[in-house]
Amino acid sequence: MDAIKPVKALDTPSDLEAKGREKVSESLNRLVADAFALYIKTKNFHWHMSGRHFRDYHLLLDEQADQIFATIDPLAERVRKIGCNTIRSVAHIAQLQRVKDNDEDFVSATDMLKELESENKKMAKNMRDAHQIADDAEDVATASLLEVYIDETERRTWFLFETTRDLN
C-alpha cells in the first residue's frame, strides 16, 4: 500500500512524530475505504431487501448505513488533522477496502444480515488494530475517536446477530 504523501501546502503541523503519523494515516485511510464500502453494501442490501420481515430489516439497515456513513468524515478529517492526505477517489477506495463487495442479483434476507454481521465484526477488529497503531504513535485523539466507533460497530454486529439467531 502506497503512503499518501502530503502536499507542502496541505502539510498541517503536528507534534506527533512523522513515522507514527504516516502509520496512523494509512490505517485510518483503510478504515475510511472500508466504511465507504460497508456503507454501500449496507445500502445495497437495504434497497434489495425482501421477504416476511421486510420493513424491520429495511429500517434496521437504513439506520446502520447512516451510522456507518457518519464515521467517514471524522476519520478522514483526522487524517488531515495529523498532516497527511486521505483518499481521493472511488478507485482509491477500491484499492484499500477490505470489505467484500456483493454484486449478486439476489441474496436472501438471512444471508444479507449474516454477511453484514461478518463484515461489521471484521470492521471492529480492523478498528482495534488501528487503535493499537494510534496508541503506538501516542495519538490519543485518534484512539479516542476509534473507541466510540468500535462500540457502535460492535452494537451493529450484536443487532445483526440477534436478528438472525433463529432464522434458517
Cell of 28: 485510518
Candidate from 1-5, 36-40, 74-78, 121-125 with smallest mean pLDDT: 1-5
- The mean of the pLDDT values for the chain is 94
CA 34 to chain centre: 4
Q: So where are the chain's domains?
A: 14-164
- Residue 74: CA count within 13 A, CB half-sphere: 14
CA distance 79 to 128: 17
Give me the pLDDT at residue 13, please.
79
Tens digit of each residue's pLDDT (9 = 90 or more) over 2-18: 455 556 666 777 888 99
CA distance 107 to 38: 16
Terminal alpha carbon distance of the chain:
39
Torsion of the alpha carbons at 76, 78, 79 and 84, rounded to the nearest 10 = 130
Superfamily of domain 14-164 in the CATH hierarchy: Ferritin, core subunit, four-helix bundle (1.20.1260.10)
Among 34, 39, 27, which Cα is nearest to 70's? 39
Tens digit of each residue's pLDDT (9 = 90 or more) over 24-72: 999 999 999 999 999 999 999 999 999 999 999 999 999 999 999 999 9
